[in-house]
Structure 1
Amino acid sequence: MYRKILITTDGSAVSSMTACAGVKFAQQMGAEVLALFVAPEYQYPIYVEIIPPSYPSEEEYRAAMLRAGREHVQPILDSCEKKGLQCHGITAFAESAAQKIVDVANEHGCDLIFIGSHGRSGWGQLLLGSVTNKVLSHSKIPVLVHRLLKEPLPD
């Protein structure tokens, strides 16, 4: 049914559990997986006239975010490899994570976006996370929202 599934991660325990569910779903479908981490664009400090020496340069920031992206995507790649699924990982930079998720899915020919909802308690369970909500409203391809039934244990 689905040939290529985009699975998003932000490196949190909640998104890691969602990614595990996404890989299992991809295995059931026999689909290829594209794992995506979206990092925020570099922000110059606008509150000072001179950039402080301790503030990372744009190159240092991008290198750190690429390392973080590889670390967050690697468990998905490893899980796919164990299950015999073809998988690629991407770290992308964007002001809007939601729009970047939709754009990457379209650019890479994905036919499903697998994304998590927020696992909050109380009234929060009725609301989707802002990124998930924006992906739902902007995507022209199907979006499967995975909801955790219980919160992951703290790291």
Structure 2
Amino acid sequence: MYKRILVATDGSDLSNTAVGSAIELAAAIGAELVALYVVPRYPVSYFEGGITISVEDIARTEKQWSDKGQAVVDAVQEQAKAQGVTAKAVVAQSDLVAESIMSAATKHGCDLVVMASHGRKGIKRVLLGSETQHVLTHSTVPVLVLR
């Protein structure tokens, strides 16, 4: 069936549910797991001209975000290991979350992507966007969406 499953997580309760399901599925079918956390880049252009932000402050903030992401995927890796699943922890830095998820799936040879969806509808979806919807419509590998 599936040999390597990518699970995208942001550390939220909803994505933790998807992580748990991905680990259970991987354990049941003997698949490996790749846990991915996508860290956004610091939005420098948003503040351009308004306030001065030092390069050091930006680097420190991005490192904090990256460290948080690493902690999240490391926890997933430990949770998977406890259930006998081989897992790899991956942190990517990009503002294009959906593209990063699809790229990581390809790079790591994943044949299934598991992710959560908030199920937003109407104007909330338009305003907040939907990374899950983007992955669903553009991924070349199957996507399992959990709510």
**What range is the shorter-chain TM-score in?**
0.7 to 0.9
CA deviations over 1:31-79 (Å, ceiling 9, x no partner): 000000001112212242x5246x8633212311221102221221111
Distance 1:42 1:146, change over 3 A: same
- In structure 1, the residue matched to 2:117 is 117
| TM-score using structure 1 length | 0.81
* SS class of match (1:101): helix
Whole-Å Cα distance in 1 between the matches of residues 74 and 43 of structure 2?
A: 26
Give ranges in structure 2 of 5+ residues lacking alignment.
none
Structure whose residues are more often helix by fraction: 2
- In structure 2, the residue matched to 1:107 is 107
* SS class of match (1:118): coil
Whole-Å Cα distance in 2 between the matches of residues 145 and 25 of structure 1?
A: 13
Whole-Å Cα distance in 1 between the matches of residues 53 and 107 of structure 2?
A: 38
Whole-Å Cα distance in 2 between the matches of residues 15 and 47 of structure 1?
A: 36
Give ranges in structure 1 of 5+ residues lacking alignment.
148-155
Whole-Å Cα distance in 1 between the matches of residues 144 and 26 of structure 2?
A: 12
Q: Which residues in structure 2 correspond to 1:1-155 (within 5 Å)?
A: 1-44=1-44, 45-48=47-50, 51-52=52-53, 57-118=57-118, 130-147=130-147
Q: Is contact 1:112–1:142 with CA below 8 Å preserved after alignment?
A: yes
Whole-Å Cα distance in 1 between the matches of residues 21 and 29 of structure 2?
A: 12
- In structure 2, the residue matched to 1:150 is none
Any runs of at least 4 consecutive aligned residues in structure 1 with deviations exceeding 3 A, and if so which?
A: none
Letter matched to residue 26 of structure 2: A
Whole-Å Cα distance in 1 between the matches of residues 53 and 58 of structure 2?
A: 13
Distance 1:119 1:108, change over 3 A: same
* SS class of match (2:26): helix
Aligned residues: 140
Q: Note the C-alpha offset of 1:105.
A: 0.5
Whole-Å Cα distance in 1 between the matches of residues 23 and 14 of structure 2?
A: 14
RMSD of the alignment, in Å? Answer: 2.0
| TM-score using structure 2 length | 0.85
Larger displacement relative to structure 2 (72-81 or 3-12) = 72-81
